[in-house]
A = this chain, B = another copy of it.
């Protein structure tokens, strides 16, 4: 395919995409296929000679679409949102065409510099403390990671490195493996599974801090303080705490204004994972949820979840970039370049797990400019309002209960009664394939999560979903003994 044919096929693809997104409501949100469905639909080997483009395009409907879970359907309420906006898609097309691999400043200066400035723009929208802004002389700054899992891991590795260095500074003879085996990290028992996984990868002990329903599933300062004291008494070295703002099960918020000072006093690295909730902090009314950020060493959220920047774009800031870089720096000759030691430039490969990286900041640039701060705020507020609307519907029905405070765009609810009845209800909902939800477990209770996800969800979809849920609940309650 040459450029001339690409002009034609590209424009057809633009129409195909617009058609797909304009008519997505008419598709079954959750696919009705059995595992292994796809293999039999296509050949067992790649063709020797090229297929025609027409055949490839025909196969999108024949092979792919029947097995797609439509995350951007207004009937999709599962997991958390993943962003999808037209400006982001346009920017991503451009990014693909430029196709640079921005591992160092020299590998494509624009790729690095736009990222630093876009992270500053976003940091300012969030009213982050000045320490996190790169500016022209800052010691901190931002980086785009692929996912929150990577941000959590990168922060943990930087913390591990800093802890080992601090201990070696006062006790240079101590063997490094002896230190690592004593390190202990903490996170909430409500934290995302990727936090525990980061501990496994880094080979350090990770303890879960218990939370209570009565505390709204938030980690309390007193609990962390007690665990630290016990662990220190047992000869362990506390070094990392991952706080969560907006947990995956119920969108709970750890008390970072209490937790931060404890971490600072104990020289424990505090990382804040606000993967979902972070986007909302651009609205003044939600910004108080981030109070305490001044105590954190690093902060991350997924602009690719709820800020209209398509995956992947997990935005992370650190107060001291030297802490991050120090944990990873490697400089073989084939990656050296003239400006490297100037102090003015950033080589983002030292900030992340992979070496290569796409030109992802273009997506932020297009989205921020095409929506403006107000447009982004409107979008967040609309989702929160729809969640509140759904909450009212649930609260108005005596058979149901709300299982956790509705702070942003997630509603946790259940039928009053057994886990069994709720599991049956959820199964019935998903098997109906009209809407799609996933569950969570809160204090041993099986709970349904209703997460506002699609950009195009409106009040009528919420009401339709609720009507369906109540109708199925009625059926389930008639069938199952109470």
User: Which residues of A pack against B, CB within 8 Å?
Assistant: 1-7, 9-11, 13-18, 20-22, 31, 33-39, 42, 44-51, 53, 55-56, 60, 63-72, 79, 82-90, 92-94, 96-101, 105-111, 113-114, 116-117, 120-122, 124-125, 136, 146-150, 153, 157, 160, 177-178, 180-181, 192-194, 196-197, 200-204, 248-249, 304, 310-312, 327-328, 330-335, 339, 342, 344-345, 353-356, 358, 362, 365-366, 368-375, 438-441, 446, 449
Contacts and interface: CB of A to CB of B under 8 A. Distances in A.
A449 B82 CA distance: 42
Stoichiometry, as copies per complex, reads: 2
A107 to B, nearest CB: 6
Given A44-B120, A71-B100, 16 more contacts: A10-B86, A38-B110, A46-B124, A46-B125, A46-B369, A50-B372, A55-B369, A68-B109, A68-B110, A71-B99, A89-B96, A92-B92, A96-B310, A147-B355, A160-B203, A197-B328
A356 B312 contact: yes
A310 B99 contact: yes
Given A18-B6, A108-B71, A136 B36 contact: yes
B99 A9 contact: no
A353 B353 CA distance: 9
B440 A249 contact: no
A107 B94 contact: no
A46 to B, nearest CB: 4
B51 A370 contact: yes
Given A3-B86, A370-B56, A438 B68 contact: no
Which 9 pairs, one residue from A and one from B, show the smallest C-beta to C-beta distance?
A: A67-B110, A10-B14, A177-B181, A38-B113, A147-B354, A35-B344, A193-B330, A17-B97, A6-B86
A47 B14 contact: no
A366 B3 contact: no
A170 to B, nearest CB: 21
Nearest to A304: B356
A86 B439 contact: no
A68 B100 contact: yes
A28 to B, nearest CB: 12
Which of A69, A87, A375 has the most chain B CB within a 10 Å cutoff?
A69
Contacts of A204: 203
Contacts of A122: 46
Nearest to A340: B35
A336 to B, nearest CB: 8
A55 B87 CA distance: 13
Contacts of A37: 109, 113
Given A1-B370, A90-B10, A97-B21, A33 B109 contact: yes
A420 B196 CA distance: 50
22 contacts: A1-B370, A3-B21, A5-B86, A6-B14, A6-B89, A14-B93, A17-B93, A38-B110, A46-B372, A50-B370, A68-B100, A68-B109, A83-B99, A84-B97, A89-B93, A149-B354, A177-B181, A201-B353, A248-B334, A249-B333, A311-B356, A333-B439
Given A14-B11, A69-B108, A335-B193, A353 B150 contact: yes
